Amino acid sequence: MSWFNVGGFLGNQGKTGSGQTGGKDTTGANTPAAVEAILDKVTQTTDVEEKKHIITKLSTINRNCHQVVGSKMSILTTTLQDNKNDIEIVRDIIEILSMVMTTSPKDDNIVEIHNTELFIADEKNFNLICELLSDNDYYVRYYISRFLNVIIKNRSESVQEVILKCPMSMTNIMSLLTDNREMIRNEAILIIMDLTKSNQEIQKIVAFGNAFEILLDIISKEGHSDGGIIVGDSISVLINLLKGNSSNQNFFRETGCIARLSKLLEVHNKDMWILTDQKFNIIMATLDLILVLVEKNSLSTSHNQLALSRSGVMNLIIRLALGKMSSVVIKSKSLYILGEILNQNSENINEFSAVSIKSDVTKQSQSALLKLTMSMLYKKDLIEKSSAFHAFKCYLMNNEEEQLALASTILDNGSETSPSKPSNSPTNNNPTPEDIENYSIGQHLIKNLFSFEQSIPGRGFEMSSFWFASMVILYMVKDSLHTKNHLLTTPLEIPKQPGQIPPNLFSKIMNTLLQSKTKEIDPMIKISILKILATWLNQSPNAIKQFFDSQLYLSYVIESIIQPSGSLSGSSQTNLNVHIQGLCALILGICIQYMDDETAEANKSNLNTIINHRIGMNSFKDKLDAIRKSETFIHSEQYEDEFSTSLEKLQIQLYDFEFTLFYKDIYDKIRNIGTNVNKPRPGVRKPQATNEPQHQSSPNQSSSPNQSLSPQPQPRNTQNQHVSNNINSPLQQQQIGTTSPQINKELESIKLENQQLKSERQQLKDEIESIKKQGGQSQSETLSLKNNNQLLAQEIQQLKLEKQQFQNELINIRQMGGQAQNDLSTLHQQIQQLTQVNTELQNELNLLRDANYKLEELVLEKDDIIDDYKKKQEYYQQQSLSSFTHDEQSNSTKTANDIFGGNSGSESMDFFEMLRIKQENTDYQTEISNLNSKITHLSNENSQLAQQKEDLMKKVVNTSPPISSPTSARSPNSALELKLTRVESELAELRIKYTALEKEQDELFNYSTKLEYENEKLKSK
């Protein structure tokens, strides 16, 4: 801000180079020796007026003399202490001190910084400055506030230490905030902003000094979001007071200040499209303030979250985040803050779940969570999508109830646009925007998760949409055993043929990984799917069992680990392949750690053998360590999610902070697996070598290396042979002979499952029969709806005929009233001319009044100056009267010398200036009297015109002489007036009736359309 750049010491500094300022010869004061001599005179002089004159000379010194003033600063501070009741001396000394401490961006400023340190070193100096703030003089308080800004800028920490040693000084500084003079108040805001940036003790002193109420009152006075830079500075001070300070946050919340923030976020609909720069900055600063209130790892965060929700601030943020706000940055930041408000707060999550927002496509209400999902998946801007994902993640974190609710939306059998429809369904292949709007949240996620296989029509494949959909599914199953088990039993699509086993999400994910062996897939896709798989298998024995039900799944994971890093994909993707191998190793470790069924011990032994003899224990650990040592993992574990608009930080991150915690937790548990069988036991390897040919020679013998494998009986031998070829361990071949009893048990369990499937198949058949019966009933309903449609069509046709008749009558009436309107238009034109003349005179009158007000203010200012000069004049007259006693001739000469000569040149100039201002005052008073007379004349003329207008209107409206009177000149116009009035009333009645008919017709048409839509819906069913 440049409030002080006009006049004052900065203005004087700009004039020092010429050697003269304001008509004074200051050349002698621009050398260090001269300045030192002036300072000595200040201590030697006892006369107050002379001391003022000497101090004034120091206000024009050059920059090279600042060091001299600093070395003798005690002279100025002592003089200030001794004359603290003299406003002129106080003002001049504060101005000089500010000048010798003000830094320049073009210089090293060593002298100015040193002068600041010298001043602060003596605590009495700072206390004296703060004590002087008790004076209500404008210039004293303003100059001191500017001086405080200068020394705080130079040595902020030192000033803070001095304030803490004398807490009452902060009270005096706080008093500047309540000053009604805006210049002083604005400087106080800058002072407190700098003081409260880092020192929590000063933050507490300011906060409990009623700063919150004062700052919010300033914001309200300035117009909230419509205010200017003062509002932004006030919000910055609030942020300084609240950031990282729980006690201040509690005080801010308990005094009801959070509710007062809502006015700063209220945006009119017209401003949603275009925001001024100032309003944009204020809204962004307010969002920063709210983000401080909900920062992570704070004791007051949960209470602040509830206060934001109950005060309505959360609803305003939802409106900014999911409404029609055109600014992507504001939308994105609002989405991020919405996530922080929802984070692990069940009450806010429930309230958010109940919020409905109007759809831009269907114009129907839809849940805010669905709107959030569509922003995350279908918006173009990566900042907005990333922020929407953050909000979604916070919504699901440690919230098993909502995780399970979201999992239940993956398949919706009642929806026509369900992803479970066969691929030949027209609604599935070519969905309209309305169809997409009707998808459930789970359907949106599944479609985007597998969009790399079959892209969404009209959108294509977007890596960011796939990634965020996969991460939401990851957090949907994270730490929720019920959700994991529910998804294991929920099919993704209805079987196309009877008896076919429908795939669930887990099997479809694994099949996608298997397809990558024959079909090239982006490594990023593999990484996201492996992250989902690792999260799902963690602490989920049922998921691990299903993973081992197919040998292909285990084979894929093992092959991915043992293959060279560059062979999984092209050489350009080697870095990503390191992450693929590390995640596969993590999955094996999770299976060993959390396997819990009747075959767990045998399977763990087999996996340990695979890790030791096929993968290698050192290689296994290297794969896990490679992820932990990667740059992206290290960055993610050091920083939690933060809102950022930087393009570098907006790239898709492989891991987030929560996943790094999950990975490190699993890593600590599995890093030592396999060490108990790292060395083979004696007497084991020799028998295995002898049994191997027998096993290979028996084509019908079961050869499973894993006792828990239980796929369907038909492909069992093929799968076992495949695994035996891939897992070539002698220890496993020895264990094959002991698997027969277990296989028999598994066959029995498979038979039971088969019976259950048959019963489920019968139930499906029964449901299909019931649907067919309902279809018969719907046909009768369709016939009745058709009859209703025909009746409505007849009624619509009748209404159209009536509408045409009314339109014809309206045309006739308009033709009759045309002539009458022409006659009336002449009268209207005359009235408009008179009104225009009246308006012009009124504007001129207002201008004259404004000029009068300005002149009166100027006269008051001049009167004040004249009073000052009158006092000086009396002083001069007393001197001249005393000189008359000596000699009349000498009296005349001395009086002339006193007025015009020597050292009193400035006083002579002041005397003539007084005379000139007095003459100007007389001229202004004359001009004011002339303006007053002119205003009186114009007011009278305006009153006459208003009276003429009123008389004319009365004649037009009330005068109605007989039409047959030949002597009346105005009778034709009066007759036309009456006739026109009657025609207009009839015209208004017809318009009302026509509007009502149109409204009724629209309602009937809408009802007909609704019936047709329901009819088509019944037909499709």
Are the beta carbons of 742 and 735 closer than 8 angstroms? no
Phi, psi (deg, nearest 5) at residue 857: -65, -40
Q: In this structure, are 188 and 237 located in the same domain?
A: no
**Per-residue pLDDT, 256:** 92
The winner for highest mean pLDDT among 429-438, 791-800, 883-892 is: 791-800
- Residues 165, 219, single domain; the answer is no
Residue 1007 neighbours by CB distance under 10 Å: 12
Looking at 595-709, list the stretches that DSSP marks H as alpha helix, in order from N- to C-terminal side.
600-609, 617-628, 631-638, 657-670, 685-697
Alpha carbons 560 and 784: distance in angstroms, whole number: 64
Domain end (from 621, 656, 679) = 679
Hey, what amino acid is at 660? T
Q: Are residues 131 and 241 in the same domain?
A: no
* Pair 160, 249 in one domain: no
The pLDDT assigned to 261 comes to 94
Is 277 part of any domain?
yes
Tell whether 674 and 614 lie within a shared domain. yes
- In terms of Cβ atoms closer than 10 Å to its own Cβ (0-12, 13-18, 19+), residue 93 is buried
What is the per-residue pLDDT across 864-917, written as a single tens digit (0 to 9) for each?
677 666 676 666 666 655 654 454 554 444 444 444 444 444 444 455 666 666
Bigger pLDDT: 933 vs 263: 263
pLDDT in tens, 237-283: 999 999 988 999 999 999 999 999 999 998 887 777 788 889 999 99
768-772-775 Cα angle (round to 5): 140
| pLDDT of the residue at 840 | 77
Q: Are 77 and 179 in a shared domain?
A: yes
- How large a percentage of the chain has pLDDT more than 70? 62
Do 22 and 159 fall within a single domain? Answer: yes
780: confidence class by pLDDT, cuts 50, 70, 90: low
Contact (Cβ atoms closer than 8 angstroms) between residue 539 and residue 481 = yes
In this predicted structure, which of 506-520, 710-724, 959-973 has the lowest mean pLDDT? Answer: 710-724
What percent of the chain shows pLDDT beyond 90?
A: 31
d(CA 288, CA 239): 8
What is the mean predicted confidence (pLDDT) over 696-723? Answer: 36
631 assigned to some structural domain: yes
H or E stretch covering 356: strand 356-358
- On the question of pLDDT at 69 being above 90, the answer is no
How far CA 881 is from CA of 445, 866, 892, 905, 912, in Å, comes to: 101, 22, 11, 20, 20
- Predicted local distance difference test score (pLDDT) of residue 970: 43
**Average pLDDT rounded to a whole number, residues 938-944:** 67
* Position 647 in a domain: yes
The tokens describing 451, both together, are 């969009």
The runs of H, that is alpha helices, within 45-122 are 48-57, 66-71, 73-82, 87-101, 110-121
Angstrom CA distances, 469 to 141, 266, 352, 473, 476, stand at 60, 32, 20, 6, 10
Domain boundary among 354, 373, 391: 354
Q: If pLDDT is split at 50, 70 and 90, which confidence band does 628 have?
A: very high
148-152, 344-348, 473-477, 773-777: which has the minimum mean pLDDT?
A: 773-777
- Please check the confidence at residue 985 and state whether its pLDDT lies above 90: no
Residue 992: pLDDT above 70?
A: yes
- Comparing CA positions, the residue from 350, 357, 317, 340 lying closest to residue 392 is 340
Domain end position, chosen among 326, 354, 382: 354
Contact 140, 132 (CB under 8 A): yes
The predicted model gives 732-738 an average pLDDT of 39
pLDDT of 198 = 83
Give the lowest-confidence range in 17-21, 193-197, 391-395, 474-478: 17-21
Most confidently modeled of 418-432, 581-595, 821-835, 882-896?
A: 581-595
3-state secondary structure string across 489-528: CCECCCCCCCCCCCCEHHHHHHHHHHHCCCCCCCHHHHHH
Asked if residues 605 and 677 have their Cβ atoms less than 8 Å apart, the reply is: yes
Same domain assignment for residues 604 and 528: yes
Q: Hunting for tokens 């069924």 — which residue is that?
A: 597
Check residue 34 and give its pLDDT.
85
Q: What is the pLDDT of residues 376-411, one digit of tens each?
A: 999 989 999 999 999 999 999 999 999 999 999 987
Q: Residue 686: inside a domain, yes or no?
A: no
Q: Is the dihedral of CA 67, 71, 72, 73 positive or negative?
A: positive
- Do the Cβ atoms of 703 and 720 come closer than 8 Å? yes
pLDDT of residue 779: 60
Closest CA to 193 of 176, 181, 168: 176
Structure tokens at 800: 């159209």
- 148 and 256 belong to one structural domain: no
Separation in Å, CA 393 to CA 117, 244, 435: 51, 24, 26
* 101/173 Cα distance (integer angstroms): 20
Query: Does 389 fall in a domain?
Result: no
Range of the domain at 172: 1-195
Buried b (16+ CB within 10 A) or exposed e, 669-706: ebeebbeebeeeeeeeeeebeeeeeebeeeeeebbbbb
Structural domain contains residue 25: yes
Residue 24's H or E segment, with its range, is strand 24-25
Any idea which of 24-33, 152-161, 212-221, 798-807 has the lowest mean pLDDT? 24-33
Per-residue b or e along 914-942, where b marks 16 or more CB atoms closer than 10 Å to that residue's CB: beebbeebeeeeeebeeeeeebeeeeeeb
pLDDT, tens digit, 9 for 90 and up, residues 646-687: 756 656 688 999 999 999 999 998 877 755 443 443 333 433
Does residue 202 contact residue 170 with C-beta atoms inside 8 Å?
A: yes
The answer to whether residues 189 and 224 belong to one domain is no
**DSSP at 134:** T
How far is Cα 761 from Cα 501, in angstroms, rounded to an integer? 10
Residue 996 located in a structural domain: no
Indicate the residue type of 813: I
Give the CA diameter of the chain.
151
- Average pLDDT on 610-621 reads 88
| Least confident range of 232-246, 573-587, 612-626, 933-947 | 933-947
| pLDDT score of 739 | 41
The residue behind tokens 């939802």 is 318
Mean pLDDT check: name the lowest of 66-70, 180-184, 357-361, 811-815: 811-815
pLDDT of residue 835: 72
Whole-number average pLDDT of the chain: 76
pTM beyond 0.85: the answer is no
Q: Any idea how long the chain is?
A: 1021
Does residue 710 fall inside a structural domain? no
Q: Indicate whether 81 and 115 sit together in one domain.
A: yes
**Number of structural domains in the chain:** 3
400 vs 5, which has greater pLDDT? 400
| pLDDT-derived band at 693, boundaries 50, 70, 90 | very low
Same domain, 663 and 611: yes
Residue 648 has a pLDDT of 61
**What value, to the nearest 5°, has the Cα angle with vertex 564 and ends 560 and 567?**
80
588 backbone φψ class: left, alpha, beta (φ>0; ψ -120 to 50): alpha
- Which of 423, 424, 400 is CA-nearest to residue 492? 423
Q: What pLDDT, on the 0 to 100 scale, is given for residue 977?
A: 61
What is the DSSP-derived secondary structure letter of residue 224? G
pLDDT (mean) for 123-133:
88
Copy the structure tokens of residue 876.
Answer: 């001069």
CATH of the domain at 576: 1.25.10.10
Output the six-digit token pair for 867.
């009073």
Residue scoring higher pLDDT (896 or 933): 933
